[in-house]
Amino acid sequence: GENVEQHPSTLSVQEGDSAVIKCTYSDSASNYFPWYKQELGKRPQLIIDIRSNVGEKKDQRIAVTLNKTAKHFSLHITETQPEDSAVYFCAASKGSNYKLTFGKGTLLTVNP
């Protein structure tokens, strides 16, 4: 089955700096790659996703890049703010049933 590895497990940045979280996947047939943000005690919330027919997608301060050849994708957050502090999860799926395989998460701390 699919295996998704996520790095780093913790990331601390200063407010205004950029943050990058990287994920690799094992199944070359995977074609959907969402990113979720989870605050303590809350549900995972989708922040951005990318499908295998594009290489990059941006939404304001958040961007995701996908390298299908290398089987990795990354989340980029620019101009970080304290409210960006949370756990971020990457995931991958293939086919029409959208069963997600998740990475183990990255705890991002943005220091004021």
Partner 1 sequence: DAGITQSPRHKVTETGTPVTLRCHQTENHRYMYWYRQDPGHGLRLIHYSYGVKDTDKGEVSDGYSVSRSKTEDFLLTLESATSSQTSVYFCAISESSLSGNTIYFGEGSWLTVV
**Contact stretch for partner 1 (CB under 8 A) within 15-23, 28-36, 60-68, 77-85:** 28-36
The reply on whether position 98 binds partner 1 by CB under 8 A is yes
The reply on whether position 58 binds partner 1 by CB under 8 A is no
- DSSP annotation of 29 reads T
> Among candidates 8, 14, 6, which has minimal Cα distance to 109?
14
CB of 72 to partner 1, least distance (A): 17
Nearer to partner 1, 1 or 112 (CB): 1
Q: What is each CA distance from 84 to 2, 14, 17, 19, 56, in whole angstroms?
A: 28, 11, 11, 10, 21
Compute how many other C-beta atoms are within 10 angstroms of the C-beta atom of residue 12. Answer: 13
- What residues does 65 pair with on adjacent strands? 56, 74
Binding residues for partner 1, rule CB under 8 A, total 24
Among 63, 65, 94, 101, contact with partner 1 (rule: CB under 8 A): 101
- What residues does 34 pair with on adjacent strands? 49
Among 10, 16, 29, 46, contact with partner 1 (rule: CB under 8 A): 46
Compute how many other C-beta atoms are within 10 angstroms of the C-beta atom of residue 14. Answer: 9
Nearer to partner 1, 71 or 94 (CB): 94
**Would you tell me which residues interact with partner 1 (CB under 8 A)?**
1, 6, 32, 34, 36, 42-46, 49, 51, 89, 91, 96-105
